[in-house]
A and B are shown apart, each in its own frame.
Chain A
Amino acid sequence: DAGVIQSPRHEVTEMGQEVTLRCKPISGHDYLFWYRQTMMRGLELLIYFNNNVPIDDSGMPEDRFSAKMPNASFSTLKIQPSEPRDSAVYFCASSPSVGVVGQPQHFGDGTRLSIL
């Protein structure tokens, strides 16, 4: 079975540019999560969706960040304009409904984003 698929795997761009990260969750999973990982702050949850609806975006750092899930098989995380402090590894994860709570999240391989 295909796991969570993220693209691109690496992204290097200049400050001020728009960045779009993409995620395809595991088929049949109702929950999708976006995380950011940095050395200083560890793994932080940015936003998560249930059935394509954003449930909690309290972790989104600023208005420069936005996320969408137009359908059950695709989500994007966009940063506009990007800044050097946005450099991090961004993970997408998905999990099935349940019994819901306690279902493990399955992570993609992450996108390493570098803003110059």
Chain B
Amino acid sequence: AQTVTQSQPEMSVQEAETVTLSCTYDTSESNYYLFWYKQPPSRQMILVIRQEAYKQQNATENRFSVNFQKAAKSFSLKISDSQLGDTAMYFCASETQGGSEKLVFGKGTKLTVNP
């Protein structure tokens, strides 16, 4: 069974600074996908970034990038130049290949960006 662990329940960062959110996962599959979703106070679940496990290159989306360490089963999210609008819950999730499209989510990290 897949598990996803986010060890930081809460974090805070000053506006314009960089912050890294941690995520580790456990899977026996050889190919899988990893995601970060953002949930602002409005409650929407918004896809931030996606990583395919067989790709060595770390995914980037503007100010968001990941540090994917496959051997360590680590998938951290780096937010550069933090903005007030980045304040949200961030969820790490994994999905395995093999006939199942189920996402397994971590418990989330509450990020607060301070002015």
Contact = CB atoms under 8 A, between A and B. Distances in A.
Contacts of A14: none
A48 to B, nearest CB: 7
Interface string B3-41: 000000000000000000000000000000101010000
Contacts of A95: 101
Contact of A107 (B44, B50, B96, B101): B44
B97 interface: yes
Contacts of A50: 101
B97 A101 contact: yes
A26 B46 CA distance: 15
Most chain B beta-carbon neighbours within 10 Å: one of A45, A91, A101, A105: A101
A43 interface: yes
B95 A43 contact: no
A101 B33 contact: yes
Interface residues of B, number: 25
Interface size range of chain A in the complex: 20 to 34
Interface string B74-106: 000000000000000001000111101111111
A111 to B, nearest CB: 10
Nearest to A111: B43
Contacts of B44: 107, 109-110
Contact of A109 (B43, B47, B91, B98): B43
Nearest to B35: A104
Interface in A29-45: 31, 33, 42-43, 45
B103 A42 contact: no
Contacts of A33: 103
Contacts of B100: 56, 101
A90 B97 CA distance: 26
A110 to B, nearest CB: 5
Interface in A60-76: none
Given A42-B105, A102-B50, A105-B103, 20 more contacts: A31-B101, A33-B103, A42-B107, A43-B91, A45-B102, A48-B102, A50-B101, A89-B43, A101-B96, A101-B98, A101-B100, A102-B33, A102-B95, A104-B35, A106-B47, A107-B44, A107-B45, A107-B46, A109-B44, A110-B43
